Structure 1
Amino acid sequence: MRPSSLIRRRGPMLSAVALSCLIVISGCKGGEGEAQAKSAEEKAAEAIPVEVAPASHRAIAASYTGTAPLEARGESQVVAKTSGVALDVLVEEGQFVRAGQTLVRLDAARATLQAAQTSAQMRKLENSFARAQQLAAEQLVSASDHDQIKFDLENARAANRLANLELSYANVKAPISGVVASRSIKPGNFVQINTPIFRIVDTSKLEAVLNVPERELATLKAGLPVALTVDALPAQTFQGEIDRVAPVVDSGSGTFRVVAAFDGGGLLQPGMFGRIRIDYDNRANALVVPRVALLEDEGDPAVYVVRDGKAVRVPVQLGYSDGAWAEVRSGLRAGEQVVVAGKAALRDGTKVQLIGQGNTAQAAAKPATSKQ
């Protein structure tokens, strides 16, 4: 075979081999580019997304909270002190009455007769004693007879006072001022002695009794302001104060009694369930962070602060807690960004990416220059 014809036959084969080599080389370059892009994506994925909030200054209060039902300061069960038929019932449930006001009139015919009888006997003995006085001056009566008449007169006077007292019991009067909460009598009913017929509640002052742990004994004092909310009126807050504190700790429960007082006569009523807050100290410009930023572990209190795109575990010294806020006494500066969401996946030095913000983590996490 001629050389020229051999070259002509091998030419297409060489071209095919060269083309295959070029495809392999270009494929290797493409694979290397994809690997680099994938590595970049993995590096970007290492940053854990978190939400942050700045440490800031605000007013915060130290407080004690508790629950207790409201009770009336004064309450009385009105009973009849004598028996008789109720002739008139003068008040209704819900009516306000004053102390000494007549509520019921009972049949007093028998008591009236007894009072008249003892009054007549007393007047008779008063006349006898006056004559005995004259005779004694003239020494016409013995000393023993004179003393006997005197003692009889004193006994008659006592009997008359007792009869008049029984007569007064026919008018059943209110022992305290307040609202008639219940009535268990109707006109014409026969009333037995010492039978409760009314319940009067003094709603001018309402009280809530708290059983407070003994650790609060040094902080809760009479006169401190008290804020009250009740389930029946959830949109309103009522103001009161600590009325008195029992400085004796119950050895069984480890608590002492604190009585908070509130003005009544309005929307508040006895029996309402109250939620009570007592502020015993206030700081007007405290450095605070959201309580959700605190790490929930058994170590010392700490938060994650975002610095240069990384989460840094920072120990803090806490002060007061007030609702959703916790006071930081040391460890942070105002403006530093603390992690409030996503902190469970963090470790000290973990790269983070801020979400919910337009800036990058590095730009948003620069330490603030303001001082506490």
Structure 2
Amino acid sequence: MRDAEISSWRQWVTGLMVAGLVIGTAGGPLVGQETDDAEEGPQQVIIERTPVQLRDPKTYSVSLSLEPIREIDLVAVADGVTGAVQVQLGGAASRQAEAVRLDSAERQLELERAKALFRVAQAEQRATSGGDANAVEAAEGRLEAARAELRLAEHRLDATVVRFPFDGKVMGVHVVPGQFVRAGQPLVTLADTSKMRVAIPVDRTAVNEGDTVDIKIETDTVQAKVETIVPLKAEFEPLRELFVSVATAVLVLENGDGKLKAGQTVFADMIPRQPVMEVPTSTLANMEEGGRKVQVIRDGFVRDIPVKLLGQVGEEHVFVSGRFSAADELVLSSSEVLLDGARAVPAGAEIPTEEDEGAGPAGRRRGSRF
């Protein structure tokens, strides 16, 4: 927050301090009032408060999901027509097993011609044996050329059968039998799912390569190893506004049992899912069940809001995320302890009673926890 903004903000809060509020609780004693000897009527409590200034969590939202440790497209090495497609989507693949076979009639003819030319070259080489040295050398050269042509023809014929380079799972089948394909066109997508990988934002000062960290995958918490830490990915750049030192960690998860699936949603602690706000550290309090909270005035009631701490802003402010509403007012300080559910009414205003409100939402909500 800029100095000018801080000055203006403090002046506004001071005016509210002077005005003060009246605090009451539903169905119980007023805040600061003794249960036996207290005077009738509400007790005035001075509260510093300020409207919340929220940041939309969508600004920082990035969809994260598990990916196979490696994934490749098997492609056609030459133009041709697909023959047999030996795989099914989602099926298991074994190393060197056939995936797709292209029409090989033309390549078979090329191989037969190469074999014939190789035999001719062999005959010439035998016929010139012991004769003129130049003729012998020429015959041997033609034999070597014919041998190379034969090897090339065998290679081209073998290339009409596309095989899996490693064990894995078929993630995509992109052709059907009889389809004409161009060289380089994807035929099948193969993934190695023995390990999974995901890249998440982390605090560079708290995470190191080789560490084991806990991450949430859908409803489960699992352990992952930090394979490497690299500069912040472009999609995580908005997080620089919330954290001092942020980088990208590439995590690897063992998946020998196959329980993890490609595409499962991953949640990262540094990506807020609720509205974000900058608050003074003095407004943070501990919750009985653990965690931190702040208090707000919402619709005339004091509310405890559990928050998640994000990045520190200097020594006196911190970013937090929580279930804030745009109409909330953050409680900066109070002359009395404020209980969750206490009613907050401007000084001099009449406090509505249960009878005035009936059993409406406001009446039901007083004194309940958020």
Query: Which deviations, in whole Å up to 9, do the C-alpha atoms of 1:329-367 show, x marking residues without a partner?
Result: xxxxxxxxxxxxxx959756x589999xxxxxxxxxxxx
User: Partner amino acid for 2:198?
Assistant: A
Q: 1:351 to 1:196 in 2, by over 3 A?
A: closer
Q: Which residue of 1 aligns with 2:228?
A: 244
Whichever residue aligns with residue 186 of structure 1, its letter is V
1:312 maps to which residue?
Answer: none
Whole-angstrom distance in 2 between the partners of 1:222 and 1:186:
44
CA distance in 2, matches of 1:80, 1:351: 73
Q: Residues 201 and 268 of structure 2 are in contact (CA less than 8 Å); yes or no, is this contact kept in structure 1?
A: no
Partner of 1:263: 254
1:243-289: per-residue Cα shift (whole Å, max 9, x none)?
Answer: 2223x5689946533101113363422222201469xxxxxxxxxxx
Matched, 1:42 2:39: yes
| One-letter amino acid of the counterpart of residue 160, structure 2 | A
Match of 2:197 in 1: 207
With over 3 angstroms needed to count, the CA separation of the structure-2 counterparts of 1:117 and 1:225, relative to structure 1, is same
2:97 to 78, 96, 101: 101
**Does the Cα contact within 8 Å between 1:103 and 1:171 map onto a contact in 2?**
yes
Unaligned 5+ residue runs, structure 1? Answer: 1-38, 49-65, 279-295, 305-321, 325-342, 356-372
Task: Show CA shifts across 1:88-118 (max 9, x none).
Answer: 2211111010232101222212211211211
Structure 1 segments, 4+ long, off by >6 Å, are: 249-252, 301-304, 351-355
| 1:77 paired to 2:66 | no
CA distance in structure 1 between the partners assigned to 2:40 and 2:265 by the alignment: 57
2:124 corresponding residue in structure 1: 128
TM-score, structure 1 normalization = 0.52
Offset, 1:154: 2.0
The structure whose Rg is larger is: 1
Read off the aligned partner of 1:42 and give its amino acid letter.
E
Name the structure 1 match of 2:168. 178
Q: 1:68 to 1:141 in 2, by over 3 A?
A: same
Can you list the C-alpha shifts for 1:32-59, whole angstroms capped at 9, x where unaligned? xxxxxxx9422997698xxxxxxxxxxx
Q: Is the 8 A contact 2:195 2:252 kept in 1?
A: yes
Give the alignment partner of residue 86 of structure 2, picking from 81, 86, 90: 90
8 Å CA contact 2:283–2:331 kept in 1: the answer is no
Are residues 131 and 208 of structure 1, via their aligned partners in 2, closer, same or farther at CA, if it must alter by over 3 Å? same
The unaligned stretches of length 5 or more in structure 2 are 1-35, 46-61, 241-245, 271-277, 287-306, 310-329, 342-370
CA distance in 2, matches of 1:120, 1:163: 12
**1:52-63 matches, cutoff 5 A:** none
Secondary structure of the residue aligned to 1:166 is helix
Deviation (angstroms), 1:122 = 1.7
CA RMSD of aligned residues (A): 4.1
Distance 1:217 1:190, change over 3 A: same
**Structure in which a larger fraction of residues adopt helix:** 1
1:113 matched to 2:109? The reply is yes
Task: Specify the code of the residue in structure 2 equivalent to 1:85.
Answer: V
Distance 1:80 1:299 in 2: 61
Q: Is the 8 Å Cα contact of residues 214 and 223 (structure 2) preserved in structure 1? A: yes
Whether 2:184 is the aligned partner of 1:197: answer no
2:132 partner amino acid: V
Aligned to 2:132: 141
- C-alpha distance in 2, partners of 1:303/1:256? 29
The question of whether the paired residues in 1 share the 8 Å contact of 2:172 and 2:188 is answered with yes
Any idea what SS the aligned residue of 1:163 has? helix
The answer to which of 155-164 and 258-267 deviates more is 258-267
SS at match of 2:156: helix
Q: Which amino acid aligns with 1:239?
A: Q
Contact 1:46 1:351 in 2 (8 A): no
Displacement of 1:225 in angstroms is 1.7
- Mapped to 1, the partners of 2:110 and 2:209 lie a distance apart of 53
Task: Give matches, 1:300-311, under 5 Å.
Answer: none
User: What is the alpha-carbon distance in structure 2 between the residues aligned to residue 300 and residue 205 of structure 1?
Assistant: 45
* Matches for 1:154-165 after TM superposition, within 5 Å: 154-165=144-155
Percent of residue pairs bearing the same amino acid type: 22
